[in-house]
Each structure stands twice: as structure tokens, then as C-alpha cells.
Chain A
Amino acid sequence: MEKELKRNILLGFFILVGIILFITGIFLIGSKSEIFKKTFPITAKFSNAIGLKLGSNVRYNGVKVGIVKSVDLINDTLVQVDMSIEEEKRHFIHSNAIASIASDGLMGDKIVNIIAGKGGDKQVKDNDLLVAHNPLNTDHVLETLSQSNENIKVITDNLKTLTSEINSNNGPVQLLYKNPEMAKQLKHSFSNLDAITSKVLNVSATLQQLTSQIQKGNGALNTMINDTALANNISYTFDKLKATSDELIKASGNLNQTIQYANSGKGTLNMLLTDTTFAATVQQSMANIKKASIGLDENMEAMKHNFLTRGYFRRQAKKNKNKSKTTGQ
């Protein structure tokens, strides 16, 4: 009898624990499925509710606030998603909140994610219709990815060509890699470049010093840079120089023409330059003219002392004297 009682007590304990475990499990599942919580309904309409199903989680800024109650097609383009939200979370959700369909993790189930709208608005009411932000189109993403893949393929092909060229025996990189002489030359070139760079740096420093001195000092260069009057003068001078240069160009052109004419074998000048007989004749004529001129001077002097012409010369001298007086006044 006692043994039977013990067995029955043990059996009762066994069954009771089993039932408690079952009820606990049911309660825990129920608490996760919002069954024992007071809820209120809201709705959102999406163009695509792919992956969303009854019982999918509804999150507000990432925190679970409810579950999806139904997913129904209401016309050819819209899907109505009814959600059941915990009553105690109502004051967080405003009527301008935005509902979107998102993934719970990279491979997770689809969820409805509600985010707060811009600016404050009144608290959401029962059966309110939230603004729906339609989910990212996976096909579009795949299309973009496909395009990116094609680009990557082109890039890799180019890289392949480039690397094969690099690896080819006659390629410049391979040559550089295999030919130590070239490497030495390149090293030498680089050291030269280094030396040049240091010199350039020195020059640059010197120039910098010079320019600072020019800026600070009172020398001619500074005056040239800073004095606007001088700049005007220089400009004027340059204008003049330009005009003179133009004249010179013109004169040079004329001279060139003359020389060309002379070189063409025509005219006196060419004869004078090229014909030695003519030159000798001219020289002789010049000597004769000089001689004749001396003779003429003597004759003129004789005429000044001659009684017949002396009066004329005196009158001429007097007239010249008067003329110079009037011009001096």
C-alpha cells in the first residue's frame, strides 16, 4: 500500500512537472508572440511585401513593438499589412511615422521597421494608416550588381593584360627586373635627379631670399615693381621704343629694297659698288671737282676785290646782317 502511494506521488509529481513545463513553454511562446499583451491595430500599404508573413516582427527604431497580423492583396498594385502593436508602446509612435519592410539580419526573416517621421505629430490612433516606404527592389540591386560585375570583369581583363605584359620577357618592368645594368642606370639617374632636386631647392631658396629682399628693400627693382609713375614711364618708353622699332623696320625694309635694287645690277649705286672703272672715274671726277672748287674759291675772292663786283658782295653782306638781327630779336 505504502509502495503504491509512493509510486502515485512520484507519478503525480512527474505529470505535474510535465504540465508546468508545457504551460511555461506555451506562456513563453505567447509572450514572444504578443498574445498576452494588450495591443492596438495599425496598417500600412506597400507595393511589395515580399517575405512578410503572419507573425513577422514589427520593430520601432529597432526595438520589437508588435507583430504582423495579416498580409492581404487589396488591388493589383498594393498590399495591405495589418500590424498589432503593444499598447504600452503607443505613445512612442506618432501618426507621421514611416513603415518600411526590412530584413532581420543578413539572412533573417522580413520585418516591418517603423521609424519616426520628421517633426512632432500626434500619437498614433487605432487603425491609423502609416506612410509606407517601399522596400528596396532586390532585382534592381541585382541588376546594379550585375553591371558592377561586368565593370569588374573589364578591369580584371585589363589588369590581366597589364600583368601579362609585365611578366613578358621584353616588357619594361621585366627588363628592369632582370637587367641589373639597367637597374644600376636607373639608380644613377635617380641619384642625379636627387642632386638636381637639391640644387633646385637651393635655387628656389635663393630666389625666395631675393624676392623678399626686393619686397623689403629700396633698390631699383623694388621701385620698378612698386612705383606706378615709373611703370607709366617705362610703359611710355616701351611705346616709343615700339614706334621707333616700327620705323626702323620700315627703314630697314626700304634699305632692303634699295639693296635689292642695287644688287639687281641696275642703277648708279650698283655701278659704284661693282664697277671699279666707274669708281676710279668718279674718284677722278671728285678730285677734279675739288680742284675746281679751290679754283672757284680763288675766283670768288678775286671777284670780291674787283671794283665791278665788290659793291654787290657788300650789299649781300649787309642784307644778311640785317636778316640775322631780325631773327635774333
Chain B
Amino acid sequence: MAIVRKVKTVFSKSLDDFFYGIAELAQFSVNVFKEGLRPPYEFKEVLNQCYEIGIKSFALVGVTAFILGLVLVMQSRPTMIQFGAGSYLPAMSSISIVREIGPLVTALICAGKVGSGISAELGSMKVTEQIDAMEVSGTNPFKYLVATRILATTLMIPILTIYADFISLIGAFVGSNIKDNINIYFYFNRVFEALHYTDVVPSFIKTFFFGFTIGLVGCTKGYNSKKGTEGVGKAANISVVMAMVGVIIIDMVVTQITSMLGYL
């Protein structure tokens, strides 16, 4: 499956590794669609991975989102008050959370927790030759291990983002009520008054890409890990870093596209 280097170095070792990594990811994503879309489908494993990725990350994502919403309001409030725009705190916090903070924080947390977990799990299976054993036993390890995990991350990150957005808005409400006295009806009225579909839809769509990237990077690095237990740790580490960078790059691209379409 992996691309094999036919020449020793093209540019330099690090640059060659970088381009090799990109090619590996591209090859892997092509195989995911090829194998994943072909029956039989592993629904059971998909549900299992959804549980592992979604429900087991919920607490961490929820707490982080709540704190971020609260801190956002508390940090912004003095400046907003200084400019006489204290009443715009709900609008400001809602747009910030829905457009950027919710999706990005969820993706980064999942990149750390889920991406490293997938990478370590698949890496361990690789170095202990469990994947080879699956192939020998007639089970398609790519379909069973990789496609299910990538599908699960692609589906669960958007769901986690929805939760993160709402929890973060509640955190922002709590933050607003620490210094001010705003009732919840007024607060959420202002929140939804400030939001438009152009805020929600692009940010929701990009979470699918975030999930796919996290799953893809984690699976790729884990599935292709080498050099025993040391390689497993390295693969987990690289997968976290690459997933985070990938998420931020996608975020930038989506923001640019949204801006070009005139929705910002």
C-alpha cells in the first residue's frame, strides 16, 4: 500500500519525507474511498468507533468548550464595555463560537485525543503483526480498521462540534452573568438574532473535513508505523501534529472560500 522510495534523495531528506508523507496521505485517502464504499460494510465497527470517538470525547470537549465560552466573554467584556458595546457581547460571543471557536477547539482536542489513539492502536496492531494476521484470515484490514475509523471521526466531529457550540454558548452566558445580569431568554434571543445561515453552514461543513483529516492522519501514521514500539509512539506523535496542522490549514481554506463567496 505504501509508496516505496525508488531514489535515495530528491531534494533533501526532510523535504523528501514531507512530500512522501503527503503522497502517503493521498494514496491512503484514495484507498479509503475505494475500500470503504465497496460492500460488505462494517456497520458494527463503525458504531463501535463512533462510541469510542464521540461519547468518550464528549466530556473533554464539553468542559473545554464551556471554559472557552466563559473565558471569551470575560476577556472581551472590558474592551467591549470600553467601546460602549457591552450589549453586543452575546452577538460577538455567538459569532466567534459558531464560526471558529467551537469547530476548531473540538477538532484540535479530537486531533490530540482521537488521532493519537487511532494512530497508537493501529501502530500497535501493525508492529504486533495483527494486521498481517487479519489479511491472512481473509478479513480486509483496511476496510475493517481504517475505513470505519475515518468514517466515525468524519461523523462524530460535527456532532461533537454541535455540542461544543451549545455548551460554549452556555459558558458565555455564565461568563456574561458573572459581572452583568442578563436573563437567559434575552441572551439566547440576541445570540440567534446575530447568527445567520452563512455563519452556521460553512462552519458545520468544515467539521466534516476536520473529522476526515483527523481520522485519515491517525490511520495513515498508525497503519504505516515501523520500528516496533518506538515507531508506535513516533507515529502517535506525528499524527497529532499533522492532524492539528491539517485542521488549521483546512480552517484557513474554508474561511478564504467563505470570504470569496461573500459570506463573511
A: residues with CB less than 8 A from B are: 4, 7-8, 10-11, 14-15, 18-19, 21-22, 25-26, 28-33, 55, 105-108
Contact = CB atoms under 8 A, between A and B. Distances in A.
Contacts of B33: none
Give the interface SS of chain B, mostly helix, strand, loop or mixed.
Answer: helix
B167 to A, nearest CB: 10
A29 B195 contact: yes
B54 A11 contact: yes
Interface in B111-168: 159-160, 162-163, 165-166
23 contacts: A7-B47, A8-B47, A10-B55, A11-B50, A11-B51, A14-B58, A15-B159, A18-B159, A18-B160, A18-B163, A21-B166, A22-B162, A25-B162, A25-B192, A26-B197, A29-B195, A31-B192, A32-B193, A32-B195, A33-B197, A107-B83, A107-B84, A107-B88
A29 B200 contact: yes
Contact of B87 (A14, A31, A32, A105): A105
A105 B83 CA distance: 13
Contact of A10 (B51, B85, B163): B51
A303 B186 CA distance: 149
Contacts of A14: 54-55, 58, 159
Given A25-B162, A105-B87, 19 more contacts: A7-B47, A7-B51, A8-B47, A11-B54, A14-B58, A15-B50, A15-B54, A15-B159, A18-B159, A19-B159, A25-B165, A26-B200, A28-B188, A28-B192, A29-B196, A29-B197, A32-B192, A33-B196, A107-B84
B27 interface: no
Contact of A21 (B87, B163, B188): B163
A19 B51 CA distance: 16
Interface of B: 47-48, 50-51, 54-55, 58, 83-85, 87-88, 159-160, 162-163, 165-166, 188, 192-193, 195-197, 200, 204
Give the interface SS of chain A, mostly helix, strand, loop or mixed.
Answer: helix
B83 A11 contact: no
A55 B51 contact: no
Contact of B192 (A11, A19, A29, A105): A29
A179 B47 CA distance: 97
Contacts of B83: 107
Contacts of B84: 106-107
A107 B85 contact: yes
A231 to B, nearest CB: 76
A144 B195 CA distance: 37
Nearest to A18: B159
B162 A21 contact: yes
Contact of B200 (A4, A19, A25, A107): A25
A103 to B, nearest CB: 13
A62 B197 CA distance: 25
Nearest to B192: A28
Nearest to B87: A105
Nearest to A12: B47
A31 to B, nearest CB: 8
A164 to B, nearest CB: 35
Contacts of A107: 83-85, 88
Contacts of B162: 18-19, 21-22, 25
A10 B47 CA distance: 11
Contacts of A26: 197, 200
Contacts of A106: 84
Nearest to B194: A32
A25 B162 CA distance: 9
Nearest to A25: B200
Contacts of B58: 14
Most buried by A among B47, B160, B192: B192
Contacts of A8: 47, 51
Nearest 7 A/B pairs, CB to CB: A18-B159, A28-B192, A11-B51, A18-B162, A22-B162, A7-B51, A29-B195
Contacts of B196: 29, 33, 55
Nearest to B83: A107
B121 to A, nearest CB: 18
A226 to B, nearest CB: 73
Contacts of B197: 26, 29-30, 33
Contacts of B54: 11, 14-15
Contact of B55 (A11, A22, A33): A11
Contacts of A108: 88
A203 to B, nearest CB: 62
A41 B85 CA distance: 33
Nearest to B160: A18
A22 B50 CA distance: 18
A149 to B, nearest CB: 21
Contacts of B47: 7-8, 11
Contacts of A15: 50, 54, 159
A22 B204 CA distance: 10
A30 B200 CA distance: 11
A107 B165 CA distance: 26
A30 to B, nearest CB: 8
Contacts of A31: 192
